[in-house]
Amino acid sequence: MQGFKVGSDILDAVTRLDFHLAPSETVSTLPQELNTLFDSSGKRFRPALVFLFGQVFEVPEETLVPYARAVEMTHTASLVHDDVIDEASERRKIPTINSRFTNTQAILAGDFLLARVIGDLLREGRMDLITDLTDAIKDLADGEWLQAHLKQTGQATWAELETVARKKTGSLMLWSCLAPAKLSSQSPEVIDVCRRLGDDIGVFFQMLDDVNDFNPQSGKPFAADLMNGQLNFVTARMLELDPSLRQTFQQFRVTGELTCRAELEAAKTFVVNRSIELENDLNQRFHRLAEKTAPATLTVFAKMLVKVRETFAKKT
């Protein structure tokens, strides 16, 4: 079978994905509550990666659909759990499950989604990809644990933040790039390239998400990481510029007023520039991967990264 066309078909394929859970699956209202999360329509970047790499390797859309759905549902489950950890009341300007119900119910909702994903993938019969996904979920937990440890110490180096980003954000990006390569029986060398691309896309994504943490229009509380006592790429850079800002950060958690605006802008600019360097490197590596198999995907990949940067790195 031929792969589907390059370009707008990726968006069309993502739009056609059906994430809704049937009320008959449970005796409770859990499916309906989870459906509201999918109706809020996030960026769905991970399914888009599945379809993009599927185009590179000429995998039919119908073959990719279960894996594109699985990675978004796994991501959603991780967000439900994250909201409990962060005590978040809103996500994308919509009340979180833990704020509308309880932390216990939110954890159960995330667990339900993960169980649903594993069950769906078992029916596809690719045990290797299920194993890879469980590795990704373990990395998510490992990254959260490391992040919690760094929060307790109040310290975080750039390298440690990259490790957290690769574990928390990169793990599912990696799986999104890896699955189409394995579905099309690529060589170990090509599979390794896909792994490393997904890993670094996660770091790129997290850098810009940390910049977006200081965007009042993001739909999340302003400087939520800082308010929670957690350093990210931006605040870690601010401390590199001026270690005395640690006292300012402590004051912010009391007053909600951030007075070091010049240092904040300098740090945000630094992180965005670092992300652009990584973006250029990602484009070059993807070019080498796709230039012989699906040249038309090169522009699509570049546009996807630009879209992420434009969305997350708005002038604030």
Instruction: Grade residue 216 by pLDDT with cuts at 50, 70 and 90.
Output: confident
What is the pLDDT, as a whole number, of residue 90? 78
- SS3 string, 5-38, reads CCCHHHHHHHHHCCCCCCHHHCCCCHHHHHHHHH
Q: Which pLDDT score is estimated for 314?
A: 63
Cα–Cα distance measured from residue 242 to residue 236, given in angstroms and rounded to the nearest whole number? 10
Whether the pLDDT of residue 30 is over 70: the answer is yes
Query: Among 58-62, 170-174, 178-182, 307-311, which stretch is predicted with the lowest mean pLDDT?
Result: 307-311
Q: Which residues pair with 94 in a beta bridge?
A: 91
8 — pLDDT class (breaks 50, 70, 90)? low
Burial of 43 (0-12, 13-18, 19+ CB in 10 A): middle
CA 260 to chain centroid, in Å, comes to 29
Q: Give the pLDDT of residue 39.
A: 77
User: Would you state the structure tokens that stand for residue 250, as one six-digit string?
Assistant: 């402590």
Tell me the domains of the chain and their CATH numbers.
Answer: 8-312 (1.10.600.10)
Query: Residue holding tokens 């019969």?
Result: 125
Quote the pTM value.
0.92
Confidence of residue 6 (pLDDT cuts 50, 70, 90): very low
